[in-house]
Amino acid sequence: MPVLKVPANLENLQKVNVFISDNLPEGCEFLRTKIELAAEELLVNVFMYAYEDSEQGKAEVGCRTVFLDNEEFFCFWVSDNGKPFNPFLEAPSPDLTSSAEDRPIGGLGIYLIKSLVKHFAYSYADGSNLIELFFSKINDE
């Protein structure tokens, strides 16, 4: 299972994109843009909010193929040792009824991620957050 460890700063987003591209299984190139977008949304939040100002944080990303209910998925995951935070439960739901001009900036990241994946999971164990995103390997577009 390929893993990349990076210091928690925005300059490392490009390294993560290269990692994603290098580790996509054959036939899954159609997923690259979705995975990169979801990875950026997650990692920007980790880099900006998971650690105290004085703390130099880190993040790990990885990928693997998994089978869920007899369907094959590409799983991209992010782990950090920042404060516990389940974005799927704790991030505020965006107000999609207001006009774009009336909405606050931000707040759409988790909503966007949920629209890109078939399944998602969060866990916290041994001082680390783990977010797993499952992308269908079936190209139905």
91-130 pLDDT, tens digit per residue, is: 666 555 566 565 555 556 788 899 999 999 999 999 999 9
Residue 141 lies in a domain: no
pLDDT in tens, 52-82: 876 778 999 999 999 999 999 999 999 999 9
Average pLDDT over residues 15-29: 96
Residue 100 lies in a domain: yes
Q: Distance (Å, rounded) from C-alpha 49 to C-alpha 8?
A: 10
CATH of the domain at 131: 3.30.565.10
> Residue 38 is part of which domain span?
3-136
pLDDT at 98: 63
Q: Distance (Å, rounded) from C-alpha 68 to C-alpha 85?
A: 25
Our count of domains for the chain comes to: 1
Residue 19 lies in a domain: yes
Residue 9 lies in a domain: yes
Q: Is 94 exposed, middle or buried (0-12, 13-18, 19+ CB in 10 A)?
A: middle
Residue 92 lies in a domain: yes
43 band by pLDDT with thresholds 50, 70 and 90: very high
Pair 47, 59: CB distance under 8 Å? yes
Task: Give the number of other CB atoms < 10 A from CB of residue 110.
Answer: 21
